[in-house]
Amino acid sequence: MRSLPQPRTIPNSPIYFVVEVPGRGTHHFRVPRASVVGRLLTPLVTSGLWELRRDGSNGIDDVKAELVEESVGAAIGICWRHRTLELETSRRDFERGPDGLLEYGDEVMRELYESGYTLDDCSPILNAVISRLMLAVPTPPQEVEEAVDFTAPPTDSQTSSTLI
């Protein structure tokens, strides 16, 4: 992680948000465009991190947990807009596909840990970033239509004139 020569200007825009990290101060992030949001969330949604075992206990699949950490790292890295700190890990250094995205995320997490960020430091960041990405997912048109048409259509008596 390196210090920026001049603090980054953070626009007053709904796509920017702030996360307070105890002991590390204010961190700014930016929600990317919808197509990027989809690519970032897909590994998290499809990971199946938790599984129910036959003995009734819940367990975590370590391989899936690693993929989730890499996905979270990619989300943090792409959304990162700290005013005075820049990640040295660059998305451009990795291939464009999902494997490159996960490799990038792994490197972002390594960089954060090497810079002294603990799991406690990363928790508010990852919670806020994932929450904002989930809110940024476009609502499917059918779901919008159902929400708009949530009331029953008016009957003839409700629409007919009351004048005699």
Mean pLDDT, the chain, whole residue set? 79
Range of the domain at 24: 2-136
| pLDDT, position 12 | 93
Q: Is 160 inside any structural domain?
A: no
Q: Is 156 inside any structural domain?
A: no
At 37, list the tokens: 């949001």
Cα angle at 123 between 99 and 101, to 5 degrees?
Answer: 10
User: Taking the CA of residue 59 as centre, how many other CA atoms within 13 Å lie in the half-sphere pointing to its CB?
Assistant: 9
Q: Is 155 inside any structural domain?
A: no
Query: pLDDT, tens digit, for every residue of 113-160?
Result: 999 999 889 889 988 998 888 888 766 555 545 555 555 555 665 555
CA nearest neighbour of 51 among 42, 61, 43: 61
Q: Is 147 inside any structural domain?
A: no
Q: Is 37 inside any structural domain?
A: yes
| Structural domains in the chain (count) | 1
- Residue 137 makes CB contacts below 8 A (sequence gap 6+) with 34, 37, 38, 41
Q: Is 152 inside any structural domain?
A: no
Q: Is 142 inside any structural domain?
A: no
Q: Is 145 inside any structural domain?
A: no
The distance of Cα 100 from the centroid of its chain, to the nearest Å, equals 17
Query: pLDDT, tens digit, for every residue of 54-64?
Result: 455 545 455 55
Say whether 30 sits in a helix, a strand or coil: strand
| Numbers of helices and strands, H then E, in the chain | 6, 6
